[in-house]
Amino acid sequence: MRNKKLYLVIPCYNEEEVLPETAMRLKEKLTELERKQKIDEGSRILFVNDGSRDRTWEIIRTLHEEDPCFGGINLSRNRGHQNALLAGLMTAKEYADMVISMDADLQDDINAVDDMIDKYLEGIDIVYGVRSSRKKDTFFKRATAEGFYKMMNTMGANTVFNHADYRLMSRRALEGLSRFQEVNLFLRGIVPMIGFSWDVVYYERGERFAGESKYPFGKMISFAVEGITSLSTRPIRMITGLGFIIFLVSIGILIYSLVRHYMGATIVGWTTLMVSVWAIGGLILLSLGVVGEYVGKIYLETKSRPRYIIEEILNQEK
Ligand code: UDP
Ligand code: MG
């Protein structure tokens, strides 16, 4: 029988509107799970404050003072969802046997937690929460998010389709995760690389019950670029392939212009020339951009900056 102390890890960025409600619902869930003896006593809810500018940290502190089942981590500044999540996971792995991560807005149905824990008890190390539908998301969010997964996969970043960062990980899976030293963090892509047995649990994605999305379109795009360039070098290979094809085309054009030359028709349209100059120029810039992206990554990785800095931890463990 596996040990079953659970930690729920919740990254929070400017979530004062949802936190009290979220805390209440999670506490209810925790009590229910303890009553059913699915988890051990001393299981906790750990909020990570990702440098919020509102009252989020004060709320977490009050929750902790009123009830030790709530813990908190305060990051020194805003580091983004992925780093906040990592800070929570790495702290939780010191105390917990299994850790479930989810968003503060509870868009991911918390009742899927039961199934996740059942799988864990069967011996599975990583359980991914997968959205069975996105009916509640706006059309725009759904289209961009699903396009995002498809693009990621064709670009060589293999992720579980329609899985965000709602997942259960056992302590040894987290130990494995801690050995990935990369600074450009894309957890959804790294977690499958850890290995161990895994499974999925399906759930319906709901609406944010208060506040607004902290992931606007711009952030999603940069998240996608981050994901692709930090996980795979396929875009570079695609550029190389493109360069090769263009080279073949240019040989064709060379032969064509020689033939035209010997036929005496030397002035081949200005238009063609302009178009190709622009096309090639554009392609070169594009390629440079992609290469630059990776060079920038190397630059950042060689600095091996800390991925997060904790200012304070609230947790009562013996
Ligand atoms: N979040 C964070 N740091 C950030 C942005 C977001 O910790 O810089 C957290 C946020 O508080 C939430 C989770 O990441 O718990 C997901 O954000 P959100 O629900 O706004 O994203 P969406 O569901 O719209 O994709
Ligand atoms: Mg959300």
What is the mean predicted confidence (pLDDT) over 239-252? 81
Rounded to the nearest angstrom, the distance between the alpha carbon of 65 and the centre of ligand 1 is: 25
Rounded to the nearest angstrom, the distance between the alpha carbon of 122 and the centre of ligand 1 is: 31
For 71-125, the pLDDT digits (tens) are: 999 999 999 999 999 999 999 999 999 999 999 998 999 999 999 999 999 999 9
105 in ligand 1 pocket by Cβ < 6 Å? yes
108 in ligand 1 pocket by Cβ < 6 Å? no
Is-contact 147 161, C-beta < 8 A? no
81 in ligand 1 pocket by Cβ < 6 Å? yes
Closest ligand by atom to 164 CA: 1
For 43-73, the pLDDT digits (tens) are: 999 999 999 999 999 999 999 999 999 999 9
Encode burial over 36-68: b for 16+ CB neighbours within 10 A, e otherwise: eebbeebbbbbbbbbbbeeebbebbbbbbeeee
* 220: CB partners within 8 A, 6+ apart: 144, 145, 148
State yes or no: pLDDT of 303 exceeds 80.
no
pTM of the model as a whole: 0.81
Rounded to the nearest angstrom, the distance between the alpha carbon of 195 and the centre of ligand 2 is: 27
For 22-44, the pLDDT digits (tens) are: 999 999 999 999 999 999 999 99
For 84-95, the pLDDT digits (tens) are: 999 999 999 999
